[in-house]
Structure 1
Amino acid sequence: MTIAEDDPRQPYEQAAETLRREIRDGVIKPGHKVGSVRDLASRFDISPTTVQKALGVLRSEGLLTTTGRGNYARDPKQAVPVAGHLDQGGNLSEVLRQLEHVTSQLSELRGRVERLEAAQPGRADENQ
């Protein structure tokens, strides 16, 4: 499925609407993955950035939850919209998700550097 060029809505809005409909109609069941960013970009013939924006819209509506393993549909009857859009292009939950991801990567890098430094001969003596 591609985005309709004659549709006045932005591509991310069209993609979000299609996924929203699939979640509400039960095509994508609660708890199931909506697809990877790469798969959705290919499906809709849009950029991964545009897919992320569409997913952000659905997260802000409470229809998606995001973990380190992907984006999962939530039960539309239990969806609770996220308040507090930061601007047109993002929302607080997306910023927090990205911050959590960066923090996790930083922690992993710190551990790797510490292991590398500990493995270097003579390094342990320098630190004392």
Structure 2
Amino acid sequence: MTIAEDDPRQPYEQAAETLRREIRDGVIRPGHKVGSVRDLASRFSISPTTVQKALGVLRDEGLLMTTGRGNYARDPEQAADAGRPGSAADLSEVLRRLEHVTSQLSELRDRVERLEAGNSGRADKNQ
């Protein structure tokens, strides 16, 4: 199967949709390998980078599990739980937000330290 040139979706979206359908229809059964990046790139006539992006979409949806040995289909019923609170996708969002808050806190700490250093210098001059 090749990617349709006249399809308005990006090639990675088309590849992800095909694999998603195959997993949901049982063509690729839970626990079975989806295919190597190289094989999928050849199958869809797209670059390995584009395949990686498609696999990332499916991984985020909970339809794939990636190990050191490859990408494996997950049970679509389990994937449906991925959007629920407490899922890996939910945890990923929490971690992203935590990183942002931590960055802001660090910036505020630096500003307070500069202000305190400036005030202690003034206090020394007044004594």
- Give yes or no for the alignment of 1:36 onto 2:36: yes
> What number of residue pairs does the alignment pair up?
86
**Aligned-residue RMSD, C-alpha:** 1.3
What are the ranges of 5 or more consecutive residues in structure 2 without an aligned counterpart? 84-88, 97-127
* SS in structure 2 at match of 1:72: strand
* Aligned 1:63-82 pairs, distance under 5 A: 63-79=63-79, 80-81=82-83, 82=89
What is the rounded CA distance, in whole Å, between the counterparts of 2:65 and 2:56 in structure 1?
Answer: 10
Q: What secondary structure does 1:8 align onto? A: coil
What's the TM-score once normalised by structure 1's chain length? 0.65
| Structure 1 outlier segments of 4+, above 2 Å | none
TM-score (norm 2): 0.65
Matched, 1:17 2:14: no
Q: Which residue of 1 aligns with 2:56?
A: 56
CA distance in 1: counterparts of 2:64 and 2:16, whole angstroms? 11
Residues 108-119 of structure 1 mapped to structure 2, 5 A cutoff? none
Query: Which structure carries more helix by proportion?
Result: 2
| Residue aligning to 1:116 | none
Q: 1 CA distance for matches of 2:19 and 2:33? A: 11
Task: Report the structure number with the largest CA radius of gyration.
Answer: 2
Q: Unaligned stretches of 5+ in structure 1?
A: 86-91, 93-128
